[in-house]
Amino acid sequence: MPLRIESPYENLSGRWLRGNMHAHTTCSDGARSPSELVSVYAEMGYDWLCISDHDLVTPAPPDAPEALILLSGNEITANGPHILHVGAEVAVEPSPDRAKVIEEVAKAGGICVLNHPNWEKHFSHWPQDKLEAMPRKYDGIEIFNGIVIRHEGSPLATDRWDRLLSKGVRAWGYANDDTHSDFDLGNGWNRVCCRSRKVEDILVGLKQGRCYASTGVELSSLETVGTRIRIIARNGSLCIPVVDWGVEIGRFPGRAWEFEIEKLIGDRRPSYIRFEIHGDGVASAWTQPIYLSWT
Ligand SMILES: [Zn+2]
Ligand SMILES: [Zn+2]
């Protein structure tokens, strides 16, 4: 039976723009004013930023540097586990019924992200059964949330991601700072392949998974052609392909990798494959899943 792949990295053209979807200002509980925050991200060389204060859409500061593209948004916070709404024009009512919130965000448009699943004692901000019970109308989850570095739980949630993906939930993985103080600046970001620097292009790229999450590893090439994938890292040194239920199917040192996916998986029949590229220290990059089926 021939292998069929559904990859977000097919026929890509454009530039990989770097951005953070999740940052707070003094309009909620962040340390910096909106003007200060956008200047700091512009100085760090970011291409785009979404200010996502708690339950309110903070207006773009009038003095924002032109180099930084601003996405509007907010973090739906009160009454339940947190949900990011990127591209929000108005804040969705924070109903304790999170399924309803997801429906409302889907109706409003924009990107819907379930935040920091492994935050809190017992790694339980989003208990797995609750996560799996949500309507499948969200775009993805935070597989990395920087503020949890200094809080209880784990900043990483690739374990939760594999559990969702293995149950057939199609969710992209995003990495965000969740900036509150200066410690949180620049720990995790997303690179989105965009044809222009328009807000709409960034939102579409995030929605279609034409992006990868990073805590320091940058890729100079990421593309699939047919059933082959090619990855070139600027600074990574180990590539790990991962399939259903978090199974690693190899560890490949180097800087550049090209895999024929069918050959790589051998006689396994996974429903997805994703790639982690690891570098020095905590620096990593995570590709989105590529969905596999046989026809
Ligand atoms: Zn939160
Ligand atoms: Zn937050």
Count of CB atoms situated within 10 Å of the CB of 250: 12
Ligand 2 centre and the CA of 105: distance in Å?
Answer: 17
Distance (Å) from CA 77 to ligand 2 centroid: 8
Position of tokens 């594999």? 162
For the chain, domains (ranges, CATH) are: 15-214 (3.20.20.140)
Q: Helix, strand, or coil here: 260?
A: strand
The number of the ligand nearest the C-alpha atom of 24 reads: 2
CA distances from 63 to 37, 70, 86, 246, 270 (A): 11, 12, 21, 45, 49
Task: Report residue 90's pLDDT band, with 50, 70 and 90 as the boundaries.
Answer: very high
Distance 194 CA to ligand 2 centre (A): 25
| Predicted local distance difference test score (pLDDT) of residue 1 | 79
* 3-state secondary structure (DSSP) of residue 78: coil
What is the rounded end-to-end Cα distance, in angstroms, of the chain? 6
The 10s digit of each residue's pLDDT in 208-264 is: 999 999 999 999 999 999 999 999 999 999 999 999 999 999 999 999 999 999 999
What's the average model confidence in pLDDT over 135-158? Answer: 98
Q: Is the pLDDT of residue 73 over 90?
A: yes
In DSSP terms, which residues pair with 291 in a beta bridge? 6, 272
Nearest ligand by distance to the CA of 116: 1
Can you give the pTM of this predicted structure?
0.98
Give the distance from CA 278 to its chain's centroid.
Answer: 17
For 23-50, letters b (16+ CB in 10 Å) and e give bbbebbebebebbebbbbbbeeebbbbb
Helix (H, G, I), strand (E, B) or coil at 255: coil
Give me the residue label for tokens 């279609």. 208
